Amino acid sequence: MDLSGDTDISEETILRFAEGCESLVHLQFPNSLILAPEFYAALARARPTLKILELWEPETECLQVVCASFALECLYGGEEMTPAIIDMILQGPSSETLCEFDMDYAPCFNSADVLCLVRGCPRLANLGWRNDLINGDRYSHRLRLSPLVDGSNVDEINKLLEARGTTWGKLEPFPKYGPAPRRRSASGRSPDCG
C-alpha cells in the first residue's frame, strides 16, 4: 500500500486497513504523517507479517519498535536515522531476513557501522548508501568518508554485497572530483568540437 506524498489519511484508518488486509506485506507511509512509537506497536499487533516498510523521518523510539516487532525484508528510512538503527536491526528479527536497506539520505553513518550491519545481516544484498547529485548540486554535508580511511571497509562491503547477488550495484560513497568526462557523439567526436 503506497500512501506516500501528502496523502490525507488517519492513523486509525491505516491500522484498520492493515488489520483487515491479510495479504498486506508492503506499507509506505505518508510524508506528512508524524507517527508515534505506539502507532508502530499497534501496527505490529495488527499486521505482524509486514515485510517492507517505507518510513518517513522516523524517530529513534519508533525505529526501536519497528526493529523489535517485524522480520523485515526491506527497510527504507529517512535522513534522520542514526547509527543506533544498526544495533536495533542486529538485535531484532530483521537481522536474519533483511535483504534491502536504503539509507541514502542518512549522512551520519561511517564505514565501520555499515560494515558491521552488512556482516550481521547475512541476506542483505542491496544497500543504498552514497553521495548523490540532486538537481545538479552535490550535498557536501552528506557522507564524510575518505578513501584512505574508509576504502578497505567499503571494499569489503561491496565484496559481501556482490557475493550475495546485489541488484543495486556496488557502493560508491566517495565524492568524485574534477570535471565530468566528455561525452562522445555517435560519430566518436565530442559534441562541442563541431
Encode pLDDT of 141-165 as tens digits.
456 778 889 999 999 999 999 999 9
Q: Which of 194, 193, 155 is nearest to 173 (CA)?
A: 155
Q: Which of 193, 111, 187 is nearest to 149 (CA)?
A: 111
pTM to 2 decimal places: 0.80
User: pLDDT category, 179, cuts 50, 70, 90?
Assistant: low
Q: Between the ranges 125-129, 155-159, 172-176, where is the mean pLDDT highest?
A: 155-159
- Write the single-letter amino acid at 133: L
Q: CA neighbours within 13 Å on the CB side: how many for 57? A: 6
- Write the single-letter amino acid at 160: L
- Write the single-letter amino acid at 40: Y
Which of the pair, 42 or 81, is modelled with greater confidence?
42
- Give 96-109 pLDDT, tens digit per residue: 999 999 887 667 78
Q: Report the C-alpha gap between 120 and 140 in whole angstroms.
A: 29
Residue 135: the pLDDT is 47
Residue 16: the pLDDT is 93
Residues for the chain: how many in total? Answer: 194
